[in-house]
Amino acid sequence: MIVCIAAMQQECDAFLELCEQVSVFSETPFKLYQAKHLNQDVIVGLSGIGKVSAAAMTSYVILTFKPSLIINIGSAGGLDSSLKIGDIVVASMCAYHDFDITSFGHEMSYEKGWYVFKANPTILDHIKNIGLSQLHVGPMVCGDQFIHEEALFKTMQSRFKHVLATDMESTAVAHVASTYNIPWIIARSISDLVFDHDNHVSFDEFLGHASKQSATFVSQLIQRLS
């Protein structure tokens, strides 16, 4: 069984629109949906925003449903100038940009940082073979901040080389899934470009579009993995 986790209702609904036989679980601590997607059973969970919410949801669905794959869907902020609104970003690896123990001599980076998680290479190969021009596979970061200040943006770029995008849940999903040895994929669409000074306005404007782009891509991925 595949579990998809989204932080926001709009992100969740975009994928559910592509499913059939959608029903809501009752008496659960989270908002969870059961559905059929291409004749395959899927669980779709609405975690809420932030790392703790995402980690709690991921732990719950793993212990309850024992999924074969967890996919984190929704929107992300673009950190690379090659990205455009609506592009798909899939994490090859991810880390926390706000886990900072540099005062003890530890480095914040993909190479030497703590809590760096790498996606399943076999699934990444399937993703790369989908062949979308708007698809980017590369490193991502996550933290409990909506990044809109240039100083933060520059700091993240200097610490995490070649980082493509940032969000507020993905690494927490990958962290918990990795702890339980469950394969995971982060598949998000760009809703805003962090280097744009009005990216908070862009996020509100393009969240719906990004949600649909992510959902459509994940639908293609599930079909390829079936």
Question: DSSP characters for 145-196?
Answer: S----HHHHHHHHHHSTT--EEESSHHHHHHHHHHTT--EEEEEEEEEETTS
CA 48 to chain centre: 13
Grade residue 201 by pLDDT with cuts at 50, 70 and 90: low
Please state whether beta strands 20-24 and 31-37 pair in parallel, antiparallel, or not at all (unpaired).
Answer: antiparallel
Domains and CATH numbers, the chain: 2-225 (3.40.50.1580)
Q: Is 11 a catalytic residue?
A: yes
Q: Is 149 a catalytic residue?
A: no
- pLDDT tens digit string along 149-190? 777 777 888 889 999 999 999 999 999 999 999 999 999 999
- pLDDT tens digit string along 24-58? 998 899 999 999 998 899 999 999 999 999 999 99
- The model's pTM is 0.93
Phi, psi for residue 53 in degrees, rounded to 5 = -60, -45
What confidence score (pLDDT) does residue 114 get? 85
What confidence score (pLDDT) does residue 189 get? 97
The token pair at 219 is 């639908």
Grade residue 196 by pLDDT with cuts at 50, 70 and 90: low
Q: Which is catalytic among the residues 11, 13, 80, 169?
A: 11
Q: Which is catalytic among the residues 87, 107, 192, 204?
A: 192
pLDDT mean over 96-113: 84
Q: Where are the alpha helices (DSSP H) in the chain?
A: 9-16, 51-65, 121-128, 150-159, 170-179, 199-225
